[in-house]
Structure 1
Amino acid sequence: MSLPRYKVTMLALTVGLATAFVGCSSNPKKDVVDTGPKSNEQTYYNNAMKSLDRGQYGDAAKALEEMDTYFPTGQYAQQAQLELLYTKFKQKDYEGTLALADRFIRLNPQHPNLDYVYYIRGVSNMEQNYDSLLRYTSLKQSHRDVGYLKVAYQNFVDLIRRFPSSQYSVDAAQRMKFIGQELAESEMNAARFNIKRKAYLAAVERSQWIIEHFPQTPQVPEALATMAYGYDKLGDKATSQQYIEILKLNYPHLVKSNGEVNLRAARREASWVNRVTLGIVGRSDKADISSSESQNTVEKNAQSTEQKSSLLNKLSFGILDRSDREVSHEPARADESLYDSQRKQ
């Protein structure tokens, strides 16, 4: 039985196209021949520095990578690796930055600028925790994955332990303080969820972790209130009362007149009118004032740096016109004297 003419035509066209594609894919690509360095090491380095000064990070990275390839033991080898580390960070290639940092630490364990490498490694992990959306909004990263923040925190711990007098240690300590608040808020957010689903033991454990590991964070009052509330729900009235007594001494506004925990005040939850109007109307300023009067010094300082969101920020659910309340994520460049001494040679 013969096929209709149009089917024969379609079959022929299909076979012909398939053959053409196979033929094209089988053509070998022309090999790129490496002709070696196009200039000496000094010229490569000077060109890279000029590109860096102009903010042309792509050109700088290309020159520095060629230096790393053609002059791995040259006069500027280690310096070029440091420059490339900084350049990759400026290109927001954080994975590349981390790979270069790990390699530099492994190959140059006694380098005088090793503290800078530890520092930029921590900042890179910190940056990886913020995706393209969160970077431009006031949405809380602490309510999402904080894996890279934990790694960054440990990076800064390593830096301060190994180089306590480093010029980067002060900035690292500030970043650790910020990360600590983010990690505490992440645990507190999980505790709130556990309270909502009546998993009181899990909520107590999350809150206890905050008090043990980050006792100077603003989440401590809510953590204490959650523990008092959780133990009461678990039937452990004695332990619950102990935490209520602590709240009475330190945060009396979190205990109601009848002796019960005011969990809503601990969370600083607004009224339903305030929530429906996206925070525009119905906010209780008196509660905020009484709360701020009873907070410790660290929490007062944290609250004083927090700016109120604008109307546009509230109406756009925190996406537009955010206030920059976070620490700066831009790292300092390595010691400039090191660069100047190399350039003068």
Structure 2
Amino acid sequence: MSLPRYKVTMLVLCLGIAGTFVGCSSNPSKKEVADLGPQSSEQAYFDSAEKALNKGQYNEAAKNLQAIDTYFPTGTHAQKAQLDLIYVKFQQKDYPGVVTAADRFIRLNPDHPNVAYAYYARGVANMEQNYDGIVRYTSLKQSHRDVNYLKLAYQNFVDLIRRFPSSQYSVDAAQRMKYIGQELAEHEMTAARFNIERQAWVAAIERGQWVVEHYPDTPQIPEALATVAYGYTQLGNQQSAQQYINILKLNYPNLVKANGTVDLAAARKQGSWWNKATLGIFGRSSESNVNHAQQASDEHSEKRSWTNRLSFGMLDKPEQEQTAAPAAVASEPVVATPAPTSEEKPKRSWTNRLSFGLLDKPESN
């Protein structure tokens, strides 16, 4: 049975149009450029990279350093180029690239005099990966989010200190580990609070015990001890609960009520209903019943205005801000660059803050 002529015509037209689209997709608009090999000598590439680094032209520096690594992997400047490439990728905020380049350098040059720099840069890069644009420009707590990169950074710094305890980077790595430990402890306590709310006592106890065992020097210890004691009390295990209550009596007596039970609200520094309704902006809980470490931290922290709270930290920032963001790595592979002090930072207007630094830039001193 033959098709009608108009159906044959439509079929031919559809096949023709389909063939046209297939033909267009098989011919890319951009032609692939074949690699013609090195266009300059190793020394010329290296000189160009050094000149670009001095001018802060990191894209140009990366291109020349990558050429050395590709065409001259065993050359005179190969190892120096690999170290410089780690720094350049950090300046480009290519933190996954920093980790990859650092891992490669450690694998290829385990006995290099500056291999400690690669360990340090890898840890800082993993630390930076845990902070995206939202966290950087607001007052959101990183401990309430995914902390996998912080765990990687912590292990990176552990490896650095274990292998190179006398390295110039080990002191800063230890400080970063202390900060990361507080973040990880707070992350565990956030989960413990959630488990308390849904009456998952065993899960809450496990979270609190993990903090006590693995983060003993963090400000979260009082709440962790109180959580474990409270969880055992709810389970009816009075013997275990009393052991932790006795520890609280010795170290944090204000967290134990007159009747001998745990004051979990005081340990958690719970805010009022007004504090919860405003998402923590107003009506903060009193500063009583806190441990000495928390009191010292509160004394050094700056008071924030209501404008700063409503704008989630974008407007009306305190002059001496306690930031925990890691500083950039060194311009030279063996020298660490200190973070700028608050006195060196010019004050920014609200227009500059709202435009993320694009408008009304402050004059540099």
Give the TM-score normalised by the residue count of structure 1: 0.86
Structure 1 residues 191 and 337, CA, compared in 2 at 3 Å: closer, same or farther? closer
Structure 1 residues 50 and 10 mapped into 2: Cα distance closer, same or farther (>3 Å)? farther
Q: Which whole-Å CA distance do the structure 2 matches of 1:33 and 1:191 have between them?
A: 57
Structure 1 residues 13-22 or 133-142, which shifts more?
13-22
Displacement of 1:38 in angstroms is 2.4
- Work out whether residues 211 and 220 of structure 1, in 8 Å CA contact, stay in contact via their aligned partners in 2: yes
Q: Could you give the per-residue CA deviations for residues 8-46 of structure 1, whole angstroms, max 9, x where no partner exists? A: 776555433321222233348745233332222222112
SS in structure 1 at match of 2:207 = helix
Q: Please say if 1:164 is aligned against 2:165.
A: yes
Task: Measure how far apart 1:282 and its partner are.
Answer: 3.9
Among residues 281, 289, 292, which one is paired with 1:291 in the alignment? 289
Q: Judge which range, 328-337 or 191-200, deviates more.
A: 328-337
Distance 2:96 2:207 in 1: 31
Task: Report whether the alignment pairs 1:136 with 2:134.
Answer: no
Mapping of 1:240-251 within 5 angstroms?
Answer: 240-251=241-252
Contact kept, 8 Å, 1:48 with 1:59, in 2: the verdict is yes
**Is 1:302 aligned to 2:297, yes or no?**
yes
Give the gaps of 5 or more residues in structure 2. Answer: 336-365
Report the alpha carbon displacement of residue 50 of structure 1 after superposing the two structures with TM: 2.2
Q: State the Cα distance separating 1:263 from its structure 2 match.
A: 0.9
Quickly say closer, same or farther: Cα 1:73–1:282, change in 2 above 3 A. Answer: closer
Aligned-partner residue type, residue 332 of structure 1: V
Q: How does 1:167-186 map to 2 (within 5 A)?
A: 167-186=168-187
The 5 Å alignment of 1:320-335 reads: 320-321=314-315, 325-333=322-330, 335=332
Cα gap change, 1:23/1:161 in structure 2, threshold over 3 Å: closer, same or farther?
A: same
Aligned to 1:23: 23
2:191 is aligned with 1:190: yes
1:1-80 equivalence runs, <5 A: 13-27=13-27, 30-80=31-81
Native 8 Å contact 2:90 2:329 kept in 1: no
* Structural mapping, 1:249-264, within 5 Å: 249-264=250-265
AA aligned to 1:72 is P
Give unpaired runs (5+ residues) of structure 1. 339-345
Measured against aligned partners, the alpha-carbon deviations of 1:66-90 in whole angstroms (never above 9, x if no partner) come to 1111221221110000011111122
Distance 2:50 2:85 in 1: 11
Cα root mean square deviation, aligned: 2.5
1:314 aligns with 2:309: yes
Q: Distance in 2 between matches of 1:314 and 1:26?
A: 55
Counterpart amino acid of residue 303 in structure 1 = D
Q: Deviations over 1:180-232 (max 9, x none)?
A: 00110111111111111111111111101111111110100101111111111
Flag the 1:233–1:45 CA change in 2: closer, same or farther, 3 A: same
SS in 1 for 2:289: helix
Residues 274/4 of structure 1: CA separation in 2 closer, same or farther (3 Å cut): farther
**One-letter identity of the residue aligned with 2:301:** E
Q: Secondary structure at the match of 1:185?
A: helix
Distance 2:63 2:75 in 1: 17
Is residue 106 of structure 2 the alignment partner of residue 105 of structure 1? yes
Q: Is the 8 A contact 2:114 2:333 kept in 1?
A: no
- Contact 2:255–2:263 (Cα < 8 Å) also in 1: yes
Q: What is the aligned length?
A: 330
In the aligned structure 2, how far is the partner of 1:68 from the partner of 1:31? 22
CA distance in 2, matches of 1:105, 1:123: 15
TM-score by length of 2: 0.82
Instruction: Measure the CA separation in 1 of the matches of 2:196 and 2:280.
Output: 24
CA drift of 1:105 comes to: 0.7
Letter in 2 for 1:26: S
The structure where helix makes up a greater share of residues is 1
8 Å Cα contact 2:83-2:333 kept in structure 1: no
Shift of 1:3: 6.1
Are the counterparts in 1 of residues 120 and 160 from structure 2 also a CA contact under 8 Å?
yes
Question: Residues 200, 53 of structure 1: CA spacing in aligned structure 2 closer, same or farther, 3 A cutoff?
Answer: same
Question: Following the alignment from structure 2 to structure 1, what is the Cα–Cα distance between the partners of residues 299 and 13?
Answer: 74
Are residues 333 and 139 of structure 1, via their aligned partners in 2, closer, same or farther at CA, if it must alter by over 3 Å?
Answer: same
1:100 to partner: Cα distance: 1.2
Deviation at 1:250, TM superposition (A): 1.8
- Match of 2:43, as an amino acid? Q
Q: Which amino acid aligns with 1:331?
A: A
2:222 aligned residue: 221
CA distance in 1, matches of 2:298, 2:22: 66
In the alignment, is the contact (CA less than 8 A) between 1:116 and 1:334 conserved in 2?
no
Q: Which residue of 2 aligns with 1:342?
A: none
Shift of 1:134: 1.8
How far 1:337 moved relative to its partner? 6.8
